[in-house]
Structure formats: structure tokens, C-alpha cells
């Protein structure tokens, strides 16, 4: 990523950031603290003003963009982060998974991993709050909720059939 800097005598400084596809984000920082944000479709295009921020608001938005207020959790799985590190996640049960054919009670998922199965999606139907006698079929999508470590244990159970607890 290239950032172009230009001094604007008597005004402040201009920064241009390449966004990809020839687009550029232009930020003009005035000596007064005011920031103006522009967008250009390509390097030689006229800039279109997007917004203007006061010094204080620009610093707040900047810290948000920098991640000072919230740092996303990287994951290669489909999951939703709820409060305090609790995840809501979806797992599709493969045909050769140990859980196939077992009821939730027989699989002892909560005891073995700590997660709770809150729903089962099966062939377009949804079984909310499945009971202990609900059977797990191949191709089911299990919606589970639990702490990150518990969800990791459930991932092990679904993929390898064992949990090291």
C-alpha cells in the first residue's frame, strides 16, 4: 500500500491512500485540526468530498479504525461473537462423524465439550432448542453456543471424534 504525502503550505498536509482498482482515499489535515476526507475514482480524477471531521472526532474515529476500541477475533469458521468471548457457531455433521445416529443425551456434548446445542438445521427445517432425545443425522447443521475453548473442544469432537479433556 502506497501513501502519498503532499505539503499544503498555509493549509496543512494531504495524504492519498491507494484503495485498489485505481481508487484513492484522500485525507486533508488542516493546521486547525480539521480533517476533510475525499474519494477519487482514479489518480487523475477530481476528488469528491465524503465528510469533514473536527480534530477530536477524527482522533476518535482514527482510534476505532486502528482497533483501540475493539479488536476482531480472527477465525476460519462461521461464528458469531456474543458478549465476553461467548461464541455462537454452526457445524455441519459429516456422514462419518462419531455423533451420527446418537441422541444429544447419548453424545453427551455438553459434558464432553461445554457447549450447548441450541438448534439443529436439517434439510431446510429448523429444530430450535432440541431436547436430549433429538437424534443427530449426517448432514445436520448443529448450532452451538459456548466459550471459545469449549467451541474448540466441540470442533475436535466433530472433526476427530475425540476430545482431550
Query: What is the pTM (predicted TM-score) of this model?
Result: 0.53
| Partners of 92 in the β-ladder | 141
3-state secondary structure of 145: strand
Q: What is the pLDDT of residue 84?
A: 73
Are the C-beta atoms of residues 97 and 123 closer than 8 Å to each other? no
All residues at 6 or more sequence positions from 118 whose CB lies less than 8 Å from its CB, including other chains? 88, 128, 129, 143, 144, 145
Long-range Cβ contacts of 125-129 (<8 Å, 24+ apart): none
Q: What is the pLDDT of residue 64?
A: 86
Which grid coordinates belong to 137? 443425522
Q: What is the pLDDT of residue 164?
A: 63
Q: What is the pLDDT of residue 43?
A: 87
All residues at 6 or more sequence positions from 3 whose CB lies less than 8 Å from its CB, including other chains? 15, 16, 17
Q: What is the pLDDT of residue 160?
A: 73
Q: What is the pLDDT of residue 156?
A: 87
Q: What is the pLDDT of residue 162?
A: 67
Other CB atoms within 10 Å distance of the CB of residue 66: 9
DSSP E strand stretches across the chain: 3-8, 12-20, 23-30, 35-40, 48-53, 79-81, 86-92, 116-122, 125-128, 141-147
For 82-106, write each residue's pLDDT tens digit. Answer: 777 788 888 888 888 889 999 999 9
Low-confidence stretches of the chain (pLDDT beneath 50):
none
Amino acid at each position: 500500500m502506497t501513501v502519498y504525502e503532499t505539503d499544503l503550505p498555509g493549509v496543512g498536509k494531504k495524504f492519498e491512500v491507494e484503495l485498489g482498482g485505481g481508487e484513492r482515499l484522500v485525507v486533508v489535515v488542516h493546521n486547525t485540526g480539521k480533517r476533510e476526507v475525499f474519494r477519487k475514482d482514479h489518480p487523475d480524477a477530481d476528488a469528491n468530498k465524503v465528510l469533514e471531521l473536527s480534530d477530536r472526532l477524527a482522533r476518535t474515529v482514527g482510534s476505532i479504525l486502528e482497533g483501540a476500541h475493539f479488536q476482531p477475533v480472527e477465525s476460519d469458521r462461521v461464528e458469531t461473537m456474543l458478549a465476553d468471548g461467548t461464541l455462537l457457531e454452526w457445524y455441519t455433521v459429516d456422514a462419518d462423524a462419531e455423533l451420527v445416529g446418537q441422541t444429544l443425551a447419548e453424545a453427551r456434548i455438553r459434558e464432553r465439550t461445554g457447549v450447548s446445542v441450541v438448534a439443529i438445521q436439517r434439510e431446510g427445517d429448523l429444530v430450535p432448542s432440541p431436547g436430549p432425545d433429538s437424534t443427530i443425522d449426517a448432514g445436520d447443521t448443529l448450532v452451538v453456543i459456548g466459550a471459545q475453548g469449549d467451541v474448540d473442544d466441540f470442533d475436535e469432537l466433530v472433526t476427530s471424534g475425540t476430545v482431550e479433556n
